[in-house]
Amino acid sequence: MKSFNEKKGHSMTPKYKPNMKRIEREKRTFLKEFSSKYGYNGKIDQIREKEYPQLNTCVYLDHTGSTVFAKSTVKNFMEDLMNNLYGNPHSNSPSSQASSMRIAGVRKRVLKFFGTNEKDYSIIFTQNATASAKLVGEMFPWTKRSCYKYLRESHNSINGLRRFPEQIDADFQSVSEDEVNSMIKNRNFFENYDKYDEKKEEEKVTYNLFAYPAQCNFSGMKFPLNWSQKLRELNTETSKTLVLLDAAAYVPTSKLSLANKDASPDFVILSFYKIFGFPTGLGALIVKNELAPILKKGYFGGGTLRTIIHNVPWQTFSNDMVVRYEDGTVNFQNIIALDHALDSMEKLFKDYKYISNHVQCLITFLSRSMRSLRHWNGEPVISVNSDRDFSDNKQQGGVFSFNTTRSDGEEIGYLEVERLASLNNIHIRSGGLCNPGSISRWNDIDVEDAIQHFVHGKVCGDEHDIFNGKKYGAVRLSIGAMTTIEDVLIWLDFFRKYYVEKKPKAKKFLM
């Protein structure tokens, strides 16, 4: 491995030079423990050199933000476009039919990727996971008796769904993991309130919605996939709960199977760039076909209709759920690119279990190393935003979220850590990460705090990482399929140099 400062094209401040002797020594120690699961049977360095040249000049630890695309994906995609003509699929020309055939093939392939098929599920292509969540809100059969519950540790894409019940004066509630388990155990997850005329509603089914992330994007904590089945078992003839699973942060490094339809969520949302790095601007809503009769169609665009009259409110929609909800022309070229991304993943990594094992080794080692850091006086350098076992990939994903303190207990803002890392070409992420529930949980910010701080100038994405003594986010390191132990060790070397105090600070005396 080349010296970090010697890599071609690398620009770095002269203050930091990795201790390569220490890094090589720590790598040998790591391999003694993890060599059986790390690095795809010794192929990781070859994979990195051949397929990920964009990583040669940096350390990239923001794979939950977006992972990195393989060179072969864009190369094969480019060759495909240069040798074939793909037209708008809403036509019958040869180029349009070529697009339609490829899109149909990719739909089947993606469903197979998740262990299911076109009989049980449909895949509706969207712009991203957020657009998929919004589409669920638009199609869901809300009534005033509906209730929407969502896990506290949800991304804003899930929080935003509360706007739909809010607009019709229906109920919504943010719930903790313990509250979910308690309500399931006591069989009282949803209560349909008596403030509406029950005689008019008693013959109708009330549909409620529960949404949660399979893996929290802020902390990397994983949540039970069997909640879908447990909630389904609570359904009655007049009250049914549908489950939306936000899989965006989960599926890049963990296998999600929808093979058992009865035990699987009703809706799954995701973004493909988080799995493959490319294409961007392409997500999906995977939805159970059995729900088609109850889902609603609001706005409509080109390609969704069977017939329409232009000047009166009369139109009928396609019977095909995919056609009905994909308004306008889908991003057909990016869907073709997705085909090549799947090819690259299968060729490079073979099976998801190898990716999961690789990531688990690295996040276990990273978390253990970071937790062990102590200042000169024995005080811990960091606090960790997770209560999971990092060595168990069923409990914790490849994310390490933390905050930093000095030896005297003073908090160090997450923006400082990110900026110093950026100056040294180490790519991480910091902030609230669009997850207000996690910010509240890990930084002890209640409703009154948040409102009062907003009144006094605190807004999302500003420069105030610590406001009125409260932290509003964290530093997040996230591991991907192509992360190496060198990436982790260089980060650790950098962090020790700048944030672990080896001796007391010299006191300043006033003259």
Q: What is the mean pLDDT of residues 477-483?
A: 98
* Greater pLDDT, 509 or 469: 469
Of 156, 155, 221, give the one whose Cα is nearest residue 399.
Answer: 221
Check pLDDT > 60 for residue 2: no
Q: Which domains does the chain have, with CATH numbers?
A: 20-61+350-433+473-499 (3.90.1150.10), 77-344 (3.40.640.10)
Check pLDDT > 60 for residue 194: no
Question: Out of 209-223, 350-364, 454-468, which region has the weakest mean confidence (pLDDT)?
Answer: 454-468
**Tokens of residue 390, six digits:** 């990092």
pLDDT band, very low/low/confident/very high, at 462 (cuts 50, 70, 90): confident
pLDDT in tens, 235-244: 999 999 999 9
Check pLDDT > 80 for residue 106: yes
Check pLDDT > 60 for residue 22: yes
Check pLDDT > 50 for residue 71: yes
| Three state DSSP letters for 141-192 | CCCCCCEEEEECCCCHHHHHHHHHHHHCCCEEEEECHHHHHHHHHCCCCCCC
Give the pLDDT confidence score for residue 398 in this predicted structure.
Answer: 98
What is the distance between the terminal CA atoms of the chain, rounded to a whole angstrom? 51
Give the pLDDT confidence score for residue 435 in this predicted structure.
Answer: 96
pLDDT band, very low/low/confident/very high, at 307 (cuts 50, 70, 90): confident
Give the pLDDT confidence score for residue 10 in this predicted structure.
Answer: 40
Check pLDDT > 60 for residue 7: no
Average predicted confidence (pLDDT) for the chain: 92
Give the pLDDT confidence score for residue 204 in this predicted structure.
Answer: 87
Of 358, 473, 488, give the one whose Cα is nearest residue 411.
Answer: 473
**Tokens of residue 135, six digits:** 């589409």
Beta-strand ranges (E) seen in 258-387 are 267-271, 283-288, 305-309, 314-317, 382-384
Q: What is the mean pLDDT of residues 150-174?
A: 97
Check pLDDT > 60 for residue 445: yes
Question: Out of 85-89, 105-109, 442-446, which region has the weakest mean confidence (pLDDT)?
Answer: 442-446
Check pLDDT > 70 for residue 202: no
Q: What is the mean pLDDT of residues 156-178?
A: 97
Q: Indicate the SS3 state at residue 274.
A: helix
Check pLDDT > 80 for residue 8: no
pLDDT in tens, 346-382: 999 999 999 999 999 999 999 999 999 999 999 999 9
**Phi and psi of 126, rounded to 5°?**
-135, -175
Q: Is the dihedral of CA 478, 481, 482, 488 positive or negative?
A: positive
Check pLDDT > 70 for residue 507: no
Give the pLDDT confidence score for residue 229 in this predicted structure.
Answer: 96
Contact 227, 85 (CB under 8 A): no
Contacts of 92 (CB under 8 A, 6+ apart): none
Mean pLDDT is highest, among 212-216, 446-450, 500-504, for 212-216
Burial 19-35 (b: 16+ CB within 10 A, else e): ebeebeebbeebeeebe
**Phi and psi of 287, rounded to 5°?**
-135, 145
Give the pLDDT confidence score for residue 301 in this predicted structure.
Answer: 87
* Greater pLDDT, 391 or 451: 391
Give the pLDDT confidence score for residue 152 in this predicted structure.
Answer: 98
Give the pLDDT confidence score for residue 410 in this predicted structure.
Answer: 95
Mean pLDDT is highest, among 62-71, 297-306, 310-319, for 62-71
Residues with active-site annotation: 434
pLDDT band, very low/low/confident/very high, at 333 (cuts 50, 70, 90): very high
Q: Give the C-alpha separation, 448 to 452, whole Å.
A: 6
Q: For residue 367, what is the DSSP state? A: H
Check pLDDT > 50 for residue 3: no
Check pLDDT > 90 for residue 383: yes
Give the pLDDT confidence score for residue 294 in this predicted structure.
Answer: 96
Give the pLDDT confidence score for residue 197 in this predicted structure.
Answer: 52
pLDDT band, very low/low/confident/very high, at 12 (cuts 50, 70, 90): very low
Question: What share of the chain in percent tops pLDDT 70?
Answer: 94
**Tokens of residue 376, six digits:** 């000169």
Alpha helical stretches, state H, 10-128? 20-34, 39-42, 44-51, 71-83, 94-113
Contact 35, 462 (CB under 8 A): no
User: Taking each helix axis from N to C terminus, what angle separates 20-34 and 352-371, rounded to the nearest 10 degrees?
Assistant: 130
Of 377, 384, 412, give the one whose Cα is nearest residue 501.
Answer: 377
